[in-house]
Amino acid sequence: MQIGPDNKLHVICGNFVEVGAVAPTSPTAISPTTWRCRALKTANNFGLGKEAARRFVIRMELNGKNPELYAAGQRNSYDIAFNADGELFSFDSDMEWDWGTPWYRPVRVFHIPSASDQGFREGTASGPSITPTRCRRR
């Protein structure tokens, strides 16, 4: 949880957290229709039946009002931080048992611009990061 340069609270939410009601002004939207392909089950059925894009960032007023979906599609981010230029960053890591598969993503630091989607979906449905202009709410 961080207060951004826009004087709004930015909160990263984790695995299997429902997005809930967000303002219609949200920069991005999470929808199974944004998935590139149907996910195959993982060996241990982790997340079976879950459709949300896992971790996401909610931005809201300091009093908790007007929550907006700021960005989505992270896998295993535990914290966020702003740099001196006011840009949001985090780190991510993928499922250890997916190591060596085509959809595995190694541990990395990444930039989280408004309306971005880092592309994580369950199992084999993960795709490349989606640029902000391609996932803005229509």
Q: How far apart are the first and last CA of the chain?
A: 28
Res 36: pLDDT: 45
The Cα–Cα gap between 109 and 130 comes to: 16
* DSSP-assigned letter for residue 41: P
Q: Which domain holds residue 81?
A: 1-138
Number of domains in the chain: 1
Rounded Cα distance, 137 and 82, in Å:
24
Which pTM was predicted? Answer: 0.73
Query: Which pLDDT value is given to residue 73?
Result: 81
Q: What is the pLDDT of residue 32?
A: 45
Contact of 128 with 116, CB cutoff 8 Å: no
Per-residue pLDDT in tens (0 to 9) along the chain, 138 residues: 999 999 999 999 877 677 777 888 788 766 544 544 445 555 566 665 655 456 789 999 999 999 998 988 887 788 899 999 999 999 877 677 777 777 677 778 889 999 888 777 665 556 555 444 444 444
Q: What pLDDT, on a 0 to 100 scale, did the predictor assign at position 5? A: 96
Rounded to 5°, the CA angle 18-19-25 comes to 170
